[in-house]
Amino acid sequence: MDKIEPKYLQAVEQIKKAILQSQYNAIRLANQEQLQLYFAIGRYISENSRTGYWGTGALEIISAQLKEDLPGLMGFGVSSLKNMRLFYEAWSIEAPKSPTAVGDLQVSDSEPIAIRQPELANYEGFPLEEFLAVPFTHHIRILEKVKDRDARLFYIRHTALSHLSKEALLKSIAEDDFHHHGALPNNFLATIPDAKSARRALRAFKDEYLLDFINTEELDAGDFEDVDERVLENEIVDNIRDFILRFGQDFLFIKNQYAVEVKGHTFKIDLLFYNRELGSLVAVELKRGPFKTAYLGQLHSYLTVLDDYVRKPNENPSIGLILCKSADKAIVEYLIKDYNKPMGVATFRTKEDMPEKFRKALPDIEELKKLL
């Protein structure tokens, strides 16, 4: 093919963007329509089956007849109908008081009962946009695994914003991300001027990370703390995709032992990342043992160097994270407030640190790799 003129390349890019946006909108709207349909059918089933109007085995009869009347129909087996009922009953409290009837189903020997298809009410704090973006199967996994309403809403937001697969969602639930996201001791609100950006930074980190790919035998083999930390660093670098899977999808790995020369001195940062959502460099300092006060001063120096010598004009101030084996949150929060660079302190666990029942609940790491 002959070389294409720039104006035509620009046209191609614009058309591609329009196509992709249209495809995204079609998928989003199709998912929204499906959720509303399942909510409506779930309401209808709930109203009839819970009151005793329908007899035993009603769902089996209805499912079988639907398949006969609509050959090739998928997704309306007995378990699916029960899931629709579960979906409705879990979120019916959010529904508006006066739903719009979109159809009637005539039941023999009874009055018509409407299959209503309401929109979920946009109550304050209810993530309606994210709710409608999450696939039905993900909704069911959340309802099955999580009982607390606030936790359910967290995983709905997390699934929508991070585009989690079912396997990644189950992993997030197994690791109890609801209680770990945004819980790390930090000074973000005091050091990041824009409150919205500060809250976004807080959501980007957890207070504890599971590093189940770490070889604990090698980690415990060193005789000196700096040797142990280098082993820990090497384990993370060797498994950087797994680390990012736990750290967050918006993190891009730049380099380990990132060196910056300043006035004849060399500063080496254990792990340097870039976070696309935050628009910031993220320096991670690894510590094999418990938190020590001196770590904050060390990290603060690294952030100063990054901001002065590495950060680009269009980027936000760098953020630092100390990742250590254990930390007293109360003392960290007390000490960190006197520093003027955004920093936080998180801890890590290896798979051996977890109770047996939780270890068995985690997806296999090889399966997680396939998702990438």
Three-state SS string over 107-172 comes to: CCCCCCEEEECCCCCCCCCCCHHHHHHCCHHHHHHHHHHCCCHHHHHHHHHHHHHHCCCHHHHHHH
**Does residue 155 sit within a domain?**
no
Residues 211 and 346 in one domain: yes
The pLDDT of residue 165 is above 70: yes
Cβ-proximal residues to 191 (8 Å cutoff; 6+ apart), any chain: 198, 317, 339, 340, 341, 342, 343
Buried b (16+ CB within 10 A) or exposed e, 29-57: eeeeeebbebbbbbbbbbbbbeeeebeee
Instruction: Report which of residues 306 and 122 the model is more confident about.
Output: 306
Lowest mean pLDDT among 109-123, 212-226, 325-339: 109-123
Lowest mean pLDDT among 125-129, 170-174, 187-191, 279-283: 125-129
Which of the four pLDDT bands, split at 50, 70 and 90, describes residue 264? very high
The pLDDT of residue 371 is above 50: no
Residues 259 and 339 in one domain: yes
Which of the four pLDDT bands, split at 50, 70 and 90, describes residue 120? low
The pLDDT of residue 285 is above 90: yes
Cβ-proximal residues to 339 (8 Å cutoff; 6+ apart), any chain: 187, 191, 296, 300
Which of the four pLDDT bands, split at 50, 70 and 90, describes residue 124? low
The pLDDT of residue 100 is above 50: no
Task: Read off the pLDDT of each residue in 137-166 and give the average, rounded to a whole number.
Answer: 91
The pLDDT of residue 7 is 65
Task: Read off the pLDDT of each residue in 347-368 and give the average, rounded to a whole number.
Answer: 58
Residues 352 and 266 in one domain: yes
Q: Which of these, 334, 134, 168, lies nearest to 248 by C-alpha position?
A: 168
Cβ-proximal residues to 207 (8 Å cutoff; 6+ apart), any chain: 180, 183, 184, 185, 329, 346, 347
Q: Which of 101, 118, 135 is the last residue of a domain?
A: 118
The pLDDT of residue 49 is 86
Instruction: Report which of residues 227 and 249 the model is more confident about.
Output: 249
Joined tokens for residue 128: 């309606």
**Does residue 131 sit within a domain?**
no
Residues 109 and 183 in one domain: no
**Does residue 100 sit within a domain?**
yes
The pLDDT of residue 239 is 78
Residues 183 and 284 in one domain: yes
Nearest-angstrom CA–CA distance, 32 and 40 = 12
Joined tokens for residue 355: 């109770």
| CA 30 distance to own-chain centroid | 22
Q: Pairing mode, if any, of strands 208-210 and 343-349?
A: parallel
Instruction: Report which of residues 61 and 352 the model is more confident about.
Output: 61
**Does residue 89 sit within a domain?**
yes
Nearest-angstrom CA–CA distance, 203 and 184 = 10
Residues 86 and 189 in one domain: no
The pLDDT of residue 101 is above 50: no
**Does residue 13 sit within a domain?**
yes
Instruction: Report which of residues 166 and 103 the model is more confident about.
Output: 166
Residues 205 and 306 in one domain: yes
Instruction: Report which of residues 99 and 188 the model is more confident about.
Output: 188
The pLDDT of residue 354 is 52
Nearest-angstrom CA–CA distance, 231 and 222 = 8
The pLDDT of residue 113 is 44
**Does residue 163 sit within a domain?**
no
Which of the four pLDDT bands, split at 50, 70 and 90, describes residue 126? confident
Nearest-angstrom CA–CA distance, 258 and 263 = 17
The pLDDT of residue 134 is 92
The pLDDT of residue 274 is above 90: yes
**Does residue 312 sit within a domain?**
yes
The pLDDT of residue 313 is above 60: yes
Number of domains in the chain: 2
**Does residue 153 sit within a domain?**
no
Residues 313 and 183 in one domain: yes
CB 318 within 8 A of CB 341: yes
Q: Which of 89, 118, 147 is the last residue of a domain?
A: 118
Residues 207 and 295 in one domain: yes
Which of the four pLDDT bands, split at 50, 70 and 90, describes residue 358? very low
Q: Which of 100, 118, 136 is the last residue of a domain?
A: 118
SS3 call for 305: helix
Residue 331, domain extent: 177-371
Nearest-angstrom CA–CA distance, 152 and 369 = 26
Nearest-angstrom CA–CA distance, 325 and 61 = 57
Calculate the average pLDDT of the chain: 80
Residues 43 and 185 in one domain: no
Q: Which one-letter amino acid corresponds to residue 296?
A: L
The pLDDT of residue 356 is above 70: no
Report the range out of 24-28, 35-39, 152-156, 349-353 with the highest average pLDDT: 152-156
